Structure 1
Amino acid sequence: MRIDLHTHAKLSKATDFSPAYYEEMLREAAANGLNALALTEHFNTRHFFEVYESLDQLYPYNGEYYEAGPLKIFPGMEVDIRETGHILLIGRKELILEVRRKLDDYTEKDAFIPFADLMTLAESYPLLKIGAHPFRESTPLHHLDRSQLQRLDAFDLNAKDMYEYGNELNRANVERFAAELGKPVTAGSDTHQCLQYGSVYNELHQPCHSVAELKQAIAAGAYDVRVADSLPLQVKASVMLKKLLKRLALLETPAEASPVPNTLV
């Protein structure tokens, strides 16, 4: 089972969820060999709850994941913390939505939840907790208290950072950091559009049908991190396309149906 543990459903935080745009993304994910993904949309994205309301209309939900044709979509979100940094939380839909509601007072930049408080909140639910892109210059995690970092389940090997800072250097830094904390490393494309799927992913030794099984497999090391040779080209093209789509979105009038020109994806 090939799963990407860091993905987004929208072009950016400012855009609305577009079913046509997301369905195109999923087609590309499947075409690139993925069997599953975790949807870790930003917790303070525009109309966060509408993303899951839309998914409920699009795909069956079996209590653990959405059944999107050949793909399993595990619910999640990406949460900003006060000290600077992003945390991925993955779990059953009702739990993700419940935790999100408890973060209503923490969505603004000057009022993000402290890391320790987020961990305490997340630990009261059976969630998979991943430290996102720990060496990204704008949102690092390596500066945080190590006793608090050890409350995470894994750290994110992020396709965007591998492109930005170099595949081998970034991977070495993340793996060394995680090993010092006694934690595994998981792969996430961090994609906001279709071209980045498959650049990195986790190949599980056995299929997982719940977040509990995912968490167990990661803790046991029953998976391999795969990095595509095409990662630099995929991420570069993705960055260029995202910039173009955002510029085109700004040119559209409110009367037009979609904030993102799906025909260009």
Structure 2
Amino acid sequence: MYRIDLHAHTRFFHGHRRLGDAYDPLGVRLLAGTARARGLDGVATTNHDYCRRFEGEVAGVAMIPGIEVSTSRGHVLVVGPDPPTETRPGELTPGETVDLAHDRGCAAVIAHPYRNSTVREVDADFDAIEVNGKHPRTREWVERLAADHGLPMTGGSDAHYPVEVGRAYTAVDVEEPTPENVVRAIREGRIEARVDDWLPYQLIGRLYRSIHQGKDQLDAPDWATPGVGAPPKDE
């Protein structure tokens, strides 16, 4: 089993594309170095609406190409050997994003399904649903959602700062962590979402929950609302 963070970013800021492109080579080294220190075997670089390729290994960590597509209904991760180089935010529907991913030999994963997203409501041929490291308390909700859709779960930290990498990751049953093998394992369900409950990660999660609640970006399933069901405890 290989431990791969399937949702991470090489920069901590959005916009300023030229500055970001200049920063990415440093950002990926910081990301990979932290991942190796945390005992991870691989990282998928899933920057917002563009893919910057880092082939093979960086700092001894396997790099999986990816992109986080801002669809018309929320974010979808596209990971694998040939993700699109760039997408326009809000231009693609979730279904179109899934088709694009599959046409390019990639897996399509619903990202953070309970944060600023209604992708979970879309009837499309997704390959997996994510347990997001910024909101591990939603894991119980994601498990139920995954069971309803008959899909496996990935784990990803959604790291924008290197210190965040590994909060959540995916145990992948492959002989070698190549992009093609990772895609195949996701589709065949040979994966397991894991969350690291290290105290600093718990504190980071609480910080992000406060931020996203303040932005009114957090949602919950109907059965978990007051009077219907209790939300899961914080991890």
**TM-score where L is the length of structure 2:** 0.77
Flag the 1:143–1:199 CA change in 2: closer, same or farther, 3 A.
Answer: same
Q: What residue identity is the alignment partner of 2:112?
A: H
In structure 1, stretches of 5+ residues that fail to align are 56-60, 241-265
User: Which has the larger Rg?
Assistant: 1
- 1:36 to partner: Cα distance: 0.2
Instruction: Give CA-to-partner distance per residue, 1:191-228, whole Å, 9 cap, x none.
Output: 00111112111122444332332123233333332211
Match in the other structure for 1:26: 32
The 8 Å contact of residues 193 and 238 in structure 1, kept in 2 or not, is answered as: no
Match in the other structure for 2:118: 140
Match in the other structure for 1:118: 97
Task: Decide which moves more: 181-190 or 206-215.
Answer: 206-215
2:48 is the alignment partner of 1:37: no
Distance in 2 of aligned mates of 1:5 and 1:36:
8
The 8 Å contact of residues 5 and 168 in structure 2, kept in 1 or not, is answered as: yes
**TM-score where L is the length of structure 1:** 0.69
Equivalent pairs, count = 202
- 1:132 to partner: Cα distance: 0.6
Task: Decide which moves more: 229-238 or 30-39.
Answer: 229-238
Match of 1:88 among 57, 60, 77: 77
| Larger helix proportion of the pair | 1
Q: What residue identity is the alignment partner of 1:67?
A: E
Distance in 1 of aligned mates of 2:117 and 2:13:
17
The 8 Å contact of residues 135 and 141 in structure 1, kept in 2 or not, is answered as: no
Q: Which runs of structure 1 show a deviation greater than 6 angstroms over 4 or more consecutive aligned residues?
A: 237-240
The 8 Å contact of residues 195 and 235 in structure 1, kept in 2 or not, is answered as: no
Instruction: Give CA-to-partner distance per residue, 1:90-113, whole Å, 9 cap, x none.
Output: 122xx32xx335x4xxx25xx521
Match of 2:171 among 196, 203, 212: 203
Distance in 2 of aligned mates of 1:192 and 1:222:
27
In structure 2, stretches of 5+ residues that fail to align are 211-235
The 5 A counterparts of 1:205-244 are 205-230=173-198, 231-235=201-205
Root-mean-square deviation over aligned CA pairs = 2.4
